[in-house]
A and B are shown apart, each in its own frame.
Chain A
Amino acid sequence: MATSIGNRSVCVIGGGISGMTTAIEAAEVGYEVYLIEKAPSLGGRVVQMNQYFPKLCPPQCGVEINYRRIRVNPRIRHFTLAEVEGVSGIPGNFDVTVRMGPRYVNEKCTSCNKCTDACPVERQSDYDYGMGKTKAIYLPHEMAFPMRYVIDDTVCLKEQCSKCVAACRYDAIELSMKPKSLTINVGSVVLATGWSPYHAIKIDNLKFGIYRNVIRNVEMERLAAPNGPTKGKILSPSDKKEIKSIAFVQCAGSRDENHLAYCSSVCCLASMKQATYVRSQYPDADIFIFYIDIRATGRFEDFYVKLQTDRKISFIKGKVAKIIEDEGTKALTVVAEDILSGKKVYRKVDMVVLATGMVPNGIKAKMPADIVYDEFGFAVSDLQSPGIYVTGCTKKPADVASCIQDATGTALKAIQTIVGV
């Protein structure tokens, strides 16, 4: 018979798709959950995507349902702009110290946007990977949860300006807001700290950050997204013109000892998915996908086969190792050896998308037991640290569907610690 050995609540660190799923699944079977997210909104990387794979539906539907499940469930308490500073204790009785950054906007905010209209300061939008701008006071994104504005205090002029305070009719802005600390006592902890796109500037021969028309797959999601910097129109970054051709460079820094030695498993399908974005906007565009091996496992192969029937999508076996920019037009020539013909190919394109891989975020906070990481920074087996579990891309690179499955299983693990099986 299961007996309680202590606190019956769970702390989930990370409010992306994995963290939200674990939190919801645990809460919906009756356990208290604290969901800690360092960004101003829940949702993680998923809300930056244009479409989910493989059904090609926008993330709004899935994420919106999860937001709603959190909103209506009194057992979930979520904290945004919050970072875990340390965890201590034993399974069944962990103390989690959380530092909550100031949002400068309180719960009275109605998202009327008057503050943003008044704000004179701009900042690069991290939501758009720096391709767009927001004001210093902004809504994280259009379906942010909580639906509340936030001030970026690294750029805000604060009391010297105060234009937003004057513009706000609801007394929602508090420029004097200070960070807060709190300690929560829980029975088990789940790490769902997710991933970041690889810092592609390090791949010096692919010229990301130097040639403007070289972007990464994550930027492509934003370019194609209706709420993105180009309102969903895929345009070449250098001149904002329509494109006639595009090249996808697979394994950009992946399966590469000099960068990420592992395969991130999702990039082949992500690029093929993005090829469909291009095709839907440009029926005649030439699309080149340069690959070492196409990794489309199981049912995903159907997607690959379907794309192969498109006569203007070329799959070229050979890694792009050189990109040359035309100084005048900013068009790019990608160079690879086509292994099947044994000859070099030069393809002149308007845009290049680097299929960069996923880098695990990990956690900096002090944990009661050392989290064991593999050589790449992914957290391995939770057996080393009972009561503390890892899920989603903290553990391995994975697509959304796999993360959700994994996160659901992790909810059960977290509950098992609490009820003491």
Chain B
Amino acid sequence: MADNLVESDIEFVRDVARLGGGSLKKCFQCATCSVVCSLSSDEKPFPRKEMIWAQWGLKDRLLSDPDVWRCYQCGDCSVYCPRGAKPGEVMGAIRNYSFKSYAFPRFMGRLLSSPRYLPLLFAIPGVLFLIVLQHMEALSTVPSGPIAFTRFDNYVDLIFVTVSILVLLATGTGVLKFWKGMDRNNVRGDGYGRIGIGSSVFLAAKEVLTHNNFKKCDANNIRYLGHLSIFYGFAALFIVTSIVFIGLRVFHMDLPMDQTNPIKVLGNLGAVTLIAGCSIAVYNRLGRKEQSGESHYYDWFFLSVLSLIGVTGLLTEVVRLSGNAAAAYWSYFVHLVFVFSLIAYFPYSKFAHLIYRFVAIVYARYAGLDEPAEEMVSGKMGTKSVA
């Protein structure tokens, strides 16, 4: 019986409201949202249930709810909502809360949750890299010789490898908490465990790579386009960076690469795609508010850092090619500050949606939570529909 007691967390309700879900109390549970959503499943539709859980302060339920992450926030539910309760934005706010809640160590979650700490966030890498420059005696004099960023590699790699290990640990902790929560709260469909964990991971990866569910949010396909560009732009850059890292450390490859080098081409292409994707995302958030909803600090922090990485990266390359050594090095410096901000704050910022969403999809497959009936999505008559 104790399981059925509702434990309401008022502070949680306030937090969700602060994190972008201020409209949640307007919901009167008509469930229009669950029906107009292209992704909502038949057996466990969302976001109607999430709305009432949020109103009731059922934090534990929401933090262990994979459906919170199956929403791509196309905005259909908010457009059709008869009360202006904006379920899409509330779902986003719950995700923001999750970043904070799963954060390990906890204070990092707090640092990323409010613009108050923004100067500190950038100061950390800034100071760190200044110390490196000071140590290399490159702070007041521009290094002579051809412009080569590799001269800082030992330190840069040391910092980034350390940070990456910490980030992996922190992310692992968060993901474990999330997975255990989902399993504990018995969020299971009829087909629980029918698909093995390996196949679930494969299916989830397929969904992420193809963006096929994101695409179903067809009312807002400009978001789909933006996200797809950012995703693949970033992926290209990530791959190039990894290749270069391994190439340098293992094969002692020569840098900088020639502009015709396929790796270089991929990198440049990635940067352009990333910047284009970010531009679409910014346009969508500023110019199409009715559909995209209000954006929160979480959205802006992540989008800004991504955009700035793209822009400063490209700028650094251009300046380097122009031969102005001082400008090139400082540009590289700024670029690294943003790269650090993206990687080091991964588990606590919106960037973590990558992993939580992925895990939620894996869980959804594993737990047998169904997909919306395909024929219903496409608008044709289904056979299973008959009562």
Shortest CB-to-CB span from B316 to chain A, Å, is 48
Contact A321 B31 (CB under 8 A): yes
Contact B45 A337 (CB under 8 A): yes
**From A292, A325, A342, A344, contact of B35 by CB (8 A):** A344
Contact A255 B82 (CB under 8 A): yes
* A345 close to chain B: CB less than 8 A: yes
Contact A337 B36 (CB under 8 A): no
- Contacts of B286-321 to chain A: CB distance below 8 A: none
**From A256, A319, A324, A326, contact of B31 by CB (8 A):** A319
* B83 close to chain A: CB less than 8 A: yes
Contact A257 B80 (CB under 8 A): no
* A347 close to chain B: CB less than 8 A: yes
* A322 close to chain B: CB less than 8 A: yes
Shortest CB-to-CB span from B339 to chain A, Å, is 44
* A339 close to chain B: CB less than 8 A: yes
* A311 close to chain B: CB less than 8 A: no
Evaluate whether A342 and B49 lie within 8 angstroms (CB atoms) in the complex, with A319-B31, A322-B35, A348-B386 already known. yes
- In the complex, what residues of A have CB within 8 A of residue B376's CB? 322, 324, 335, 346
User: Interface readout for B37-56 with A: 1 if CB under 8 Å, 0 if not?
Assistant: 00011111100110000000
- Contacts of A30-88 to chain B: CB distance below 8 A: none
Complex alpha-carbon distance, A346 and B41, angstroms? 12
* A150 close to chain B: CB less than 8 A: no
Complex alpha-carbon distance, A352 and B112, angstroms? 50
- In the complex, what residues of A have CB within 8 A of residue B42's CB? 343-344
* A176 close to chain B: CB less than 8 A: no
Contact A257 B84 (CB under 8 A): yes
Contact B387 A337 (CB under 8 A): no
Contact A342 B29 (CB under 8 A): no
- In the complex, what residues of B have CB within 8 A of residue A342's CB? 44-45, 49
User: Interface readout for A198-226 with B: 1 if CB under 8 Å, 0 if not?
Assistant: 00000001000000000000000000000
User: Interface readout for A330-356 with B: 1 if CB under 8 Å, 0 if not?
Assistant: 010101110100111111100000000
Shortest CB-to-CB span from A190 to chain B, Å, is 34
- In the complex, what residues of A have CB within 8 A of residue B80's CB? 205, 258, 321
**From B32, B40, B381, contact of A319 by CB (8 A):** B32
Contact B35 A335 (CB under 8 A): yes
Contact B35 A346 (CB under 8 A): no
Which range holds the interface residue count of chain B?
A: 20 to 34
* A251 close to chain B: CB less than 8 A: yes
* B144 close to chain A: CB less than 8 A: no
- In the complex, what residues of A have CB within 8 A of residue B385's CB? 324, 333, 346, 348
Among the interface residues A251, A331, A343, which one has the most CB atoms of the partner chain B within 10 A? A343
Complex alpha-carbon distance, A297 and B83, angstroms? 23
Complex alpha-carbon distance, A257 and B32, angstroms? 13
Contact B387 A348 (CB under 8 A): yes
Complex alpha-carbon distance, A343 and B373, angstroms? 13
- Contacts of A285-306 to chain B: CB distance below 8 A: 286, 292
* A320 close to chain B: CB less than 8 A: yes
Q: How many A-B residue pairs have CB under 8 A?
A: 88
Closest to B48 in A: A337
**A interface residues, tally (CB under 8 Å):** 31
- In the complex, what residues of B have CB within 8 A of residue A335's CB? 35, 376
- Contacts of B144-165 to chain A: CB distance below 8 A: none
Contact B82 A258 (CB under 8 A): yes
**From A255, A318, A324, A337, contact of B380 by CB (8 A):** A324
Complex alpha-carbon distance, A273 and B239, angstroms? 66
Contact B379 A324 (CB under 8 A): yes
Complex alpha-carbon distance, A307 and B182, angstroms? 41
- In the complex, what residues of A have CB within 8 A of residue B40's CB? 344
- In the complex, what residues of A have CB within 8 A of residue B29's CB? 292, 339
Shortest CB-to-CB span from B299 to chain A, Å, is 25
* B30 close to chain A: CB less than 8 A: yes
- In the complex, what residues of B have CB within 8 A of residue A257's CB? 81-84
**From B28, B49, B379, B380, contact of A292 by CB (8 A):** B28
- In the complex, what residues of B have CB within 8 A of residue A345's CB? 387
Contact B381 A326 (CB under 8 A): yes
Among the interface residues B30, B34, B386, which one has the most CB atoms of the partner chain A within 10 A? B30
Evaluate whether A339 and B384 lie within 8 angstroms (CB atoms) in the complex, with A205-B36, A321-B36, A322-B36 already known. no
Among the interface residues A319, A322, A324, A327, which one has the most CB atoms of the partner chain B within 10 A? A319
Contact A346 B387 (CB under 8 A): yes
* B256 close to chain A: CB less than 8 A: no
* B382 close to chain A: CB less than 8 A: yes
Contact A321 B32 (CB under 8 A): yes
- Contacts of B362-385 to chain A: CB distance below 8 A: 376, 379-382, 384-385
Contact A318 B31 (CB under 8 A): yes
- In the complex, what residues of A have CB within 8 A of residue B41's CB? 344
Closest to B44 in A: A342
Closest to B49 in A: A342
**From B31, B44, B380, B382, contact of A339 by CB (8 A):** B31
Evaluate whether A346 and B384 lie within 8 angstroms (CB atoms) in the complex, with A257-B83, A258-B82, A292-B29 already known. yes
- Contacts of B98-128 to chain A: CB distance below 8 A: none
Evaluate whether A337 and B35 lie within 8 angstroms (CB atoms) in the complex, with A292-B28, A346-B382 already known. yes
Complex alpha-carbon distance, A337 and B35, angstroms? 6
- Contacts of A78-137 to chain B: CB distance below 8 A: none
Complex alpha-carbon distance, A292 and B31, angstroms? 9
Q: Which residues of A contact B (CB under 8 A)?
A: 205, 251, 255-259, 286, 292, 318-322, 324-327, 331, 333, 335-337, 339, 342-348
Query: Sorted from nearest, which 7 A-B pairs have the closest CB atoms?
Result: A256-B82, A321-B35, A346-B385, A337-B31, A319-B30, A337-B34, A321-B32
Extra contacts besides A292-B28, A292-B29 (4): CB < 8 Å:
A286-B387, A335-B35, A336-B35, A346-B376
Q: Which residues of B contact A (CB under 8 A)?
A: 28-36, 40-45, 48-49, 80-84, 376, 379-382, 384-387
A-B contact pairs, 28 of them (CB 8 A): A251-B30, A251-B82, A256-B82, A257-B82, A257-B83, A292-B28, A319-B32, A319-B35, A319-B82, A322-B35, A324-B381, A331-B381, A337-B31, A337-B34, A337-B35, A337-B45, A339-B48, A342-B44, A342-B45, A343-B43, A343-B44, A344-B40, A344-B43, A344-B45, A346-B376, A346-B384, A346-B387, A348-B387
